[in-house]
Structure 1
């Protein structure tokens, strides 16, 4: 229980009706969860407007309402606070309610189009191996030391973030690594958190259904670095032209990493094969079980962040060599017939291109590269033909299939994907709408030593069709089919 005026600390208020000295049991922005003596924050969302549920929240026992527009009906005994931005108010209230837990550990945010999950997760494992209690807030899961919780969003809401950070405080967690999505930044979910560092990976075509333009998408990412404190570090990939943009207005200490450009932390690929990578990191050689150029970027970012957080160089190198790939990120299995099946979360044009180019650099060209790929429904439609073009150009055979169609017709999604295929590549492609049948088809097409890439869903263990999720695990399914072919 908290006093309302205490949890309103740092919240700019435009008008107050009632007392701010009332006691609050909980803060909620979902009216369905409101109980007696809770504070209800009315959020304007993309689907619904919380202001329409103020009366419902009050009827359920809300003792305080935080809103951008005062309701017509003012109930005696209820405190009403008008603010300019409810999402920002919620962020500060959540942090205050949970006693600003981000200030009691070293929180590092990872943002960019690709690589967020890998970098955050591998830093979690590296620091755990180094003997620290560590937290993780990622797309795949949420971890508090050795406890694992399911993840529902790349960046959870402000209340959930601070709730988990509070639990981390209680468990003695010293470091927490967090994926920071553009949605999360735009919706103020990371506002009021104190970051010890920020990492920028890269920027490519994604989420333009939400951000409208690439410039807006870039500027949202940049705002994360604009708000880092002077005590934090800002580590950016300067091989991406947007890396320098991220640093323009930050107060944080600036550091760079790269494979091709001059940088504070640089890497050179000495060997690249399915068994892993041999890298030279700032003059030190290290072998990694991770694969491909894109993972070389991830490794140098991890190495840099570990050093900036105080780990000794040789210790970091030793721990990097022990790290395994993250679930659904270039996760592969080899059958008895030497067919290699790779499952990867690549769901953007740039990520798909990176994975396919990596495979093509490693393979001997005597084998087929069969790609199974689609695009999700209710998401950025402009990337669909680009994904189709890339898949067909960089594979020897392509099976276009359903991803998570959500509320869209999967056949219409696939028509958008097929539209990008160049005429000379038509003969390489086929469309199998049913994803399980598509994976089975790829396995049946594959011969000894061929390579199958199943892209788009990665770590996800479900498929979403018309609002319903059913069990679907790409890695398990392809493994089962390959095992059947081996018999």
Structure 2
């Protein structure tokens, strides 16, 4: 519980009601309880200002608005309500949530990871390194929100501001020293983590995704850039690691190098990838840093994991970690659920991976082609009600780097799975390589029963997810469980 005055950051109180007590915060009128503050936010599809009366009926004592045209009406109709005008209610929701939960990031080392691909892997790798160094670590990300092995809740890439600061506060109260968090482009654009005191950030890469929301790649980039803008706004001593091989990474570096203490990684980086050796069971890579060659060995597979590890290790070096400690612990890192997760059959392997963008699919297929003994069989689809333009691009990638392509359903949501498959087929010219099976279980079964000695079966797109979204139904479906079940039966 807070006093209204304690939650303000420059907003203007245009009407003072009977009670200035705030017992909770929300921008969802259905969650309002007595003496809550309701934040009216103009979204892409709905306008929170239309739900102000519903919020007041449910007990809101305070409303934050950014529409000046309704002030006089609200004052006349609800003189007993606190009415606060904000130039940006999204920012106000974040700053008020931060204050309501006692500014938890001041007491934590919070690190944000952003980029199209690699966020989950890098956040989990960072968590393992910090835990090996004796820190108590919280993770906020796509798979779940957790402290060590304690699962706090199921995950979303980045929660809304209220849950974000509530989770940070809970992690602080449970004794965490460090929090590593995935920060999506939506989160940065919608100011979900605004006012957080970030210790630092990592940029992995930027490739086509989420254009259904952002519209253009430039807008998508600007959302990612906004995250680094927010880092430097609230911490003038922030550190960051950026993939300098990525043209968008170079832009972020050039835009903020005077305000953020960067280390760059990649084949062109200060933390420079010199060479690497991939095999089915381990990866060796060499790094040149400050005139020395550093040799790393890991059980994680694929070139993209060389990048993920380089992102993590370079950031930790910037954070003061000993290089020999990092080299030693790299060998002990555990694979991440649904990220190049290998299931061994009798004489072939199945790889389960979250790759759901053209770039991610190309990265893992290139890695598989470097270690394959026979053929690569790829099973994948694309999510419904999402960026349609990436579908033919993924089709072309699958065609170019697979021997057999099995097109199936992913999370179709409210789209027809057959239409999604048709969209993917537009990028495929070698139709003889392609088999269409909309039923995902049957598609996986076909791939496994088709596999020969030395083959690699890639099941892409869902990774750790244990469900399928069909229309408005969430149906249990776990690629790994399905694979294990089929392997037992053959």
* 1:407 aligns with one of 402, 407, 414: 414
Number of residue pairs matched by the alignment: 476
Distance 1:442 1:249 in 2: 47
1:380 corresponds in structure 2 to 387
**CA displacement at 1:19 relative to structure 2:** 4.8
1:55 corresponds in structure 2 to 53
Distance 2:213 2:18 in 1: 36
**CA displacement at 1:312 relative to structure 2:** 1.6
Give me the TM-score of the superposition, normalised by structure 1: 0.95
Q: How does 1:299-338 map to 2 (within 5 A)?
A: 299-336=309-346, 338=347
Contact kept in structure 2, 1:140 and 1:150, CA below 8 Å = no
Distance 1:400 1:57 in 2: 46
Contact kept in structure 2, 1:121 and 1:138, CA below 8 Å = no
1:436 corresponds in structure 2 to 441
Kindly provide the CA deviation profile for residues 436-486 of structure 1, in whole angstroms up to 9, marking residues without a partner as x.
11101111111222110000011100000001101000111112212222x
**CA displacement at 1:144 relative to structure 2:** 2.3
Distance 2:401 2:148 in 1: 41
- List gaps (5 residues or longer) in structure 2: none
SS of 1:248's partner is: helix
Distance 1:147 1:138 in 2: 14
Distance 1:107 1:411 in 2: 43
Kindly provide the CA deviation profile for residues 214-234 of structure 1, in whole angstroms up to 9, marking residues without a partner as x.
011111111211232321112
1:451 corresponds in structure 2 to 456
2:261 corresponds in structure 1 to 253
Note the aligned Cα RMSD (angstroms). Answer: 1.4
- List gaps (5 residues or longer) in structure 1: none
**CA displacement at 1:15 relative to structure 2:** 5.2
Kindly provide the CA deviation profile for residues 404-423 of structure 1, in whole angstroms up to 9, marking residues without a partner as x.
0001111111100011102x
Distance 1:122 1:150 in 2: 20
Distance 1:51 1:113 in 2: 33
Give me the TM-score of the superposition, normalised by structure 2: 0.95
Contact kept in structure 2, 1:230 and 1:253, CA below 8 Å = no
Contact kept in structure 1, 2:377 and 2:402, CA below 8 Å = yes
**CA displacement at 1:268 relative to structure 2:** 3.1
Contact kept in structure 2, 1:16 and 1:81, CA below 8 Å = yes
**CA displacement at 1:248 relative to structure 2:** 2.8
* 1:351 aligns with one of 352, 360, 379: 360
1:30 corresponds in structure 2 to 28
Q: How does 1:137-286 map to 2 (within 5 A)?
A: 137-228=140-231, 229-250=235-256, 251-258=259-266, 260-261=267-268, 263-282=269-288, 283-286=293-296
Kindly provide the CA deviation profile for residues 265-300 of structure 1, in whole angstroms up to 9, marking residues without a partner as x.
122344210111112233221210111111000011
